[in-house]
A and B are shown apart, each in its own frame.
Chain A
Amino acid sequence: AQSVTQLGSHVSVSEGALVLLRCNYSSSVPPYLFWYVQYPNQGLQLLLKYTSAATLVKGINGFEAEFKKSETSFHLTKPSAHMSDAAEYFCAVRIDRGSTLGRLYFGRGTQLTVWP
């Protein structure tokens, strides 16, 4: 079985503060991992992805994530939050096996609020 858990449905930070959004996955085989961002009434946009190359992955808008196999985690960070980062963030895992080929499994999302 595979699943994704995002710890914390809501995270609030002050502008300029560190952003940390947590994601843990369960998988019996090496996964591909993704972070997506969604602004209100829009689709999801890919922030970054891990595909078994470097464990520290840099994405758009200054975000990065580190794949830690021992902790089965793929937490998303940004050193300094900006007001424009306020959005909902989704972690997703993909395991290619049999009939699930290509399917992504999404976490429930974390709403990020940035205070001025």
Chain B
Amino acid sequence: DGGITQSPKYLFRKEGQNVTLSCEQNLNHDAMYWYRQDPGQGLRLIYYSQIVNDFQKGDIAEGYSVSREKKESFPHTVTSAQKNPTAFYLCASSPLGGQAVYGYTFGSGTRLTVV
């Protein structure tokens, strides 16, 4: 079955460490997105990519980095510069152009806790 996989489901890190979250899709979608979710704040866009080797900052990119070396993969690093990294992180993908009416497909999320 086609889908989008995030790993790990739960992640614990010490303060000051960088951590990389994985996101892989086999839907052949062009665009991929990273969101951060905090209680009562909805989803906030961190970064997105519409094509391999290109990505754009979202609304809260500071302290995060991404790469898009392959169409199916969009890993995301939470760096030590992110002041409040504990959150639930969601990855999503979507087609572009006329197929985009189908909206996003989401992964199941990674809950990051920094202690």
Contact = CB atoms under 8 A, between A and B. Distances in A.
A55 to B, nearest CB: 15
Contact of A42 (B31, B100, B101, B108): B108
A90 interface: yes
Nearest to A96: B100
B42 A43 contact: no
Interface stretch (A17-25, A79-87, A98-106): A98-106
A56 interface: no
A78 interface: no
A106 B50 contact: no
Interface string B36-65: 000011110100101000001000000000
Nearest to B100: A102
A59 to B, nearest CB: 12
A75 B83 CA distance: 36
B103 A103 contact: no
B107 A43 contact: yes
A14 interface: no
19 contacts: A9-B40, A41-B88, A42-B109, A43-B6, A43-B106, A43-B107, A43-B108, A44-B90, A49-B103, A92-B103, A94-B100, A102-B31, A102-B50, A102-B94, A104-B94, A104-B103, A106-B42, A108-B42, A109-B43
